Amino acid sequence: MSKPLDPSSITSAIKECLQTDSNVVNDIKQIVTNNDGDFTKSINRIAELLTIPITSIVTQRLEQLELKIDDLERRSRSHNLHFHGIKEEENPKEQIVEIAKCMNVELTKDDIEVAHFTGGVRDGKRGVIACFYSREMCMELLKKRKKLQQPQGRKYVVFEDCTQRTMGLYNKMRTKVSDGKKFHVYIRNGRVLYRSELKSKARLIETEKDIEEIINIVE
């Protein structure tokens, strides 16, 4: 269950609105004046007037809080990797070691804290999530995955363990670009990045607003 908003945050938002937006203050004065100084008669109109700016401030603060929470979750997942292509009857740790060999990465089962299949059984195609003791090992495997030599009859896929927010932004951004540029949208260290051109500087995507800004520039 989500927690109720902190009343002090609402109070702070109201103060910020009144201190920074002179138009709102002037409008409130005018409303009271129009009602012959009767504040009671002015309450409804003042409430309507404050609704939009207060909602905007509160929404902005909630978005900032969500980003902080997402960053904490992203950091907690930085020791994890997902593996697809491991069969249900196989030992996950042993197969991850074999996958590492296919990338010329030295890895032992002792480097893996835990590894298990995730999600419901779907035709025996469940993925495996593994937690490594070393974040550096995760980075090494991700770095070398392009060099993965697929054994005959197998297809392994290795990718980061991302937050739901990250995957949502990633998928949405990919729907906004042409098929020929979908690979310009990628995830690095749990963050969504986009390059308009392969040699251009990557743009960090943290919110849906970032996606809208990028698409407006592209269009």
Tokens of 60: 């902005």
pLDDT computed for residue 32 by the predictor: 86
Structural domains of the chain sorted by starting position, each given as residue range(s) with its CATH number in brackets: 7-75 (no CATH), 78-160 (3.30.70.330), 164-218 (no CATH)
pLDDT band per the 50, 70, 90 thresholds, residue 1:
very low
pLDDT(125) > 90: no
- Report the pLDDT value the prediction gives residue 196, as an integer from 0 to 100: 87
Mean pLDDT value across residues 183-200? 90
122 has pLDDT over 70? no
Q: Which residues pair with 112 in a beta bridge?
A: 132
Percent of the chain with pLDDT over 90: 52
DSSP-assigned letter for residue 151: P
Q: How confident is the model at residue 75 (pLDDT cuts 50, 70, 90)?
A: very high
pLDDT at 4: 57
Helix or strand holding residue 204 (H, E)? strand 203-205
**Burial call 145-173: b when 16+ CB within 10 Å, e when fewer:** beebeeeeeeebebebbbbebbeebbeeb
Beta bridge partner(s), residue 194? 185, 203
- The torsion angle over the Cα atoms of residues 160, 163, 169 and 174, rounded to 10 degrees, is 30
Mapped onto helix, strand or coil, the DSSP state of residue 176 is: helix
Residue 9, pLDDT above cutoff 80:
no
Give the mean model confidence (pLDDT) for residues 131-146: 94
Q: What is the pLDDT of residues 20-31, one digit of tens each?
A: 878 888 888 898
Mean pLDDT within 139-160: 92
